[in-house]
Amino acid sequence: MRIRSLSPSDRAQLIDIVNQDPRRGVGHEKVLTRLVFDHQADTMLARKGYTRESVPEAGERVFLRSTGNLSTGGTATDMTDTVHPDNAEMAVRAVKAIGLDVGGVDFLSTDITQSYKDVGGAICEINAAPGFRMHMAPSEGRPRDVAGPVMDMLFPPGTPSRIPIAAVTGTNGKTTTARMLAHINKLAGHHVGLTTTDGVYIDGQRTVSGDMTGPVATRMVLSDPSVDVAVLEVARGGLLRAGMGVRHCDVGAVLNVKADHLGLRGIGTLEELAQVKRIVVEVARETAILNADDHYVAKMAEKTKARVLTFGIDNDADFRAFNIEGHGVEGTDFTLRCMGREMRVHSPLPGPPDDIWYSIR
């Protein structure tokens, strides 16, 4: 065997030629990963008695990795049309044997087009969360939409794929209102995810403590598979920093706009604060609930396409709460009158006196 010498600049040029492929990028940003000459490549060369300066003979194959993963610079060839039926059937049985609905089988074979019964072979790994990019954008072969069947399995046509979302904002009373709404939904049999200024609650249990009124908390609630109703307390700070965390909500409520938080994050007037708070009703799809007694809130009805319901103590309000009782630690009972109907409601939170209740609800 004759080993010729290759200068470092020539070696770098060869790697650059491969990396010029527009499909190659850093990490998983593209369908292929850029080549990197590192310690593992040196180890593989040393096994053949080569160094970085060695020049292999024409036609000789030299491996720089012990695996062919896409994440380490490998390529993928789609063999779906040519894989032997015995090999495909064996992979399906292996995935079912360990109870997976979706699985990726790493199978070692000298020729995937021949049955493992004839040429041998072995499963070295089964992935419960396999990558899709080698199938959707293979280096060679026909691309295949492997993600489509998975989505159809998770969300069959005609089945609900979204949960109801209620968003509550305002200057005062957000936490009380959001917790009461979450409790009402829990009593109705729902598994509620709640975000508030004192934490994230899943089905009444606090899972994360602290001020959780921004989009990070929203993602926590919506990513929990057990939650079937979300109640979000939405604060001014979160809206200004990163928005709501959702494109739309089903119900958006604005309780009031007061001067308590002026001067923070560039908001210096009530008009500016109202513009921030009204985002909740601008993205509401079904119903916008507005305080008829607050001038800045009532004007938000012009900025929403949802059905508008108002509340308050004046004669133009659509609904109001009254007859508040039991202001102790065991909670508060009151009657909710809405559109000519009355309903008795129990809140687990101690209720404030009537005059304060009417000013913040």
For residues 47-69, give the mean pLDDT.
Answer: 80
Q: Tell me the Ramachandran region of residue 25: left when phi exceeds 0, alpha when psi lies from -120 to 50, beta otherwise.
A: beta
Q: Which residue has the higher pLDDT, 91 or 311?
A: 91
Token pair in block for residue 186? 């829990």
Question: How far is Cα 144 from Cα 189, in angstroms, rounded to an integer?
Answer: 42
pLDDT at 87 over 80: yes
pLDDT at 323 over 60: no
Of the candidates 168, 188, 190, which has an alpha carbon nearest to the alpha carbon of residue 179? 168
Distance, CA of 276 to CA of 169 (rounded, Å): 10
Distance CA 346, CA 326 (A): 10
Site of tokens 């109705």: 188
Q: Which pairing describes strands 32-33 and 24-25: parallel, antiparallel, or unpaired?
A: parallel
Tell me the C-alpha distance between 360 and 176, whole Å: 9
What is each CA distance from 57 to 4, 17, 60, 61, in whole angstroms? 9, 19, 6, 9
In this structure, which amino acid lies at residue 302? Answer: E
14 compared with 256, residue with greater pLDDT: 256
What's the pLDDT tens digit per position in 94-142?
Answer: 999 999 999 999 999 999 999 999 999 999 999 998 888 778 878 788 8
With helix as H, strand as E and coil as C, how does 35-52 read?
A: CCCCHHHHHHHHHCCCCC
Quote the CATH superfamily of domain 85-154. ATP-grasp fold, B domain (3.30.470.20)
Domain ranges of the chain: 4-72, 85-154, 165-312
Average per-residue pLDDT for the chain: 81
| CA pair distance 239, 88, nearest whole angstrom | 50
Characterize 62-90 residue by residue with b for buried, 16 or more Cβ atoms within 10 angstroms of its Cβ, and e for exposed: eebeeeeebebbbbbebeeeebbeebeeb
The predicted structure's pLDDT at residue 60? 85
User: Which residue did the predictor score with more confidence, 244 or 32?
Assistant: 244
At the fourth CATH level, which superfamily is domain 165-312?
Answer: Mur-like, catalytic domain (3.40.1190.10)
Give Cβ neighbours of residue 74 (< 8 Å, ≥ 6 apart). Answer: 33, 65, 67, 68
Confidence of residue 259 (pLDDT cuts 50, 70, 90): confident
- Span 235-251, mean pLDDT? 86
Residue linked to tokens 């493992």:
116
